[in-house]
A and B are shown apart, each in its own frame.
Chain A
Amino acid sequence: MKALAMALLLMSAATAIDFSGNWSGSFKVEGGDHHGVPQLLILKQQGHTLAGSGGPDAGEQYPIENGKINGDAVQFELTTGEWKFTYRLRSVEADSLTGTITLESPDDRRTARVSLTRMK
């Protein structure tokens, strides 16, 4: 029984995703412009929490807040000014993250679809 538990533990450790690294891609707001908005996320995993920064490029980065990891899913927030971005991402394939962003300003709420790949 102990051996089985150990094997399961080792298996889950082997398949656990390390979100740390640089991820690039874009998001597209529902009902917004047709072109995507570029994204560069610099993620730093610390156990089940996530830190780092994100923004459109390396020169414009905003600190990650309330970053949480739950298996292959990750959730965090970025405040860029009037808008707050809440990311809900999932790793469906190796080295790729997809999901949604909820964008909230003092008077509006929008949703966007986001797709990111790990930068080598």
Chain B
Amino acid sequence: MLLLGITGSIMAFEPELDRLLHANLSYVTPVGRALSLAEIGESVNREFPGEPVVAFLPSTSTRFPTQVILSRGIVSVNQYSGEILGVRARGRSFLGFVRALHTRLALGDVGRNILRWSAVALMLSLASGLYLWWPAKPVRIRARWWSAGCVFDLHNAVGIWSLLPMLALAITGIVIGFEDQAAALIDKLTHASPARTDQILTRPSSQPGSTQITPDEAVAFATAQLPGAVPYRIQMPRFGGTYVVALENSRDRVTGERNSIGIDPWSGNVLTMNLSGGLTSRERLMAVNEAIHTGTIAGVPGRVIASLVSVVLPVQFLSGVMIWMRRRKNARLQR
């Protein structure tokens, strides 16, 4: 519980913390026009000759750089000057370790099993806490600060005020922990097929000798299919067979990122189209569940709440242990 709370409160701000921890690779000053993806690719090729671009991660803000994925790592490029800011190698980072602790105690299958049952234990603990709170219904801290009564009041007051968001975290945590079982249940209830398949519209046209379209042209063909959506990832055809353009629809906070369009690298034809509108009930419900758990369903305020509620978890755990120890001591003295 202690670990889940601390790591959860950190994870709520993972993107911001990640940028803070890699500040030299994460910020640019906008000057003039942004370079095209082809021009950015040329800059990267000059710095790392012979290394093909795996994918582009275009900047989603004028303050953030464009990233280019190579086999050696992720290259940050100033999209206004073409300057290479640096390369981020692959491997576990501090935030990666925090996530590993939160999702599997950094212990693989054993850790994941412990955590899924911890979510169930949290749920039971909330129910028993409500049962114990009910007779007196304390909602404020009345006792003197740092007295034994204060810890008791704190546990009760914090517990009742955070009950609903804690319940939301526990329930959504259980669903994440028992994802396979939850997915099967949703499929059964909604009579849906287990998962959507790629919507293949046509086959790639291999034309040896002709030149491939550029990544910028692939983006143009893809965005024409989903006007208003912003491209955030372009996979190069050498890595997977086709251009795959991932688009974010900012109007949909929960599944807005789940749009990908496959583009024929020779003709520019749309080969596959997987839009968030075509998600199955299971995929949509699981995405909503995750968005509630992380707080992203309510944007930044939601993430702040998720982080604060996560901090409450260790507070409740420690104050609960203190109350239990004090009662145990008192009982021993009375005997």
Contacts and interface: CB of A to CB of B under 8 A. Distances in A.
Contact of B180 (A34, A59, A105): A34
A82 B99 contact: no
A61 B90 contact: no
A65 B71 contact: yes
A31 B55 contact: no
Interface residues of B, number: 33
A93 interface: no
A21 B111 CA distance: 38
Interface in B108-127: 108-109, 111-112
A108 B108 contact: no
B8 to A, nearest CB: 17
A18 B91 CA distance: 32
Contacts of B70: 79
A61 B241 contact: yes
B103 A107 contact: no
A8 B176 CA distance: 56
Nearest to B100: A108
Nearest to A35: B180
A110 to B, nearest CB: 8
A104 B95 CA distance: 14
Nearest to B200: A59
Interface stretch (B157-165, B212-220, B232-240, B309-317): B232-240
B74 interface: yes
A55 B108 contact: no
B69 A108 contact: no
Contacts of A79: 54, 69-71, 239
A43 B88 CA distance: 30
B73 interface: yes
Contacts of B74: 82, 106
Contacts of B73: 106
Contact of B96 (A80, A81, A108): A108
Interface of A: 30-31, 33-35, 55, 59-63, 65, 77, 79-84, 104-109, 111
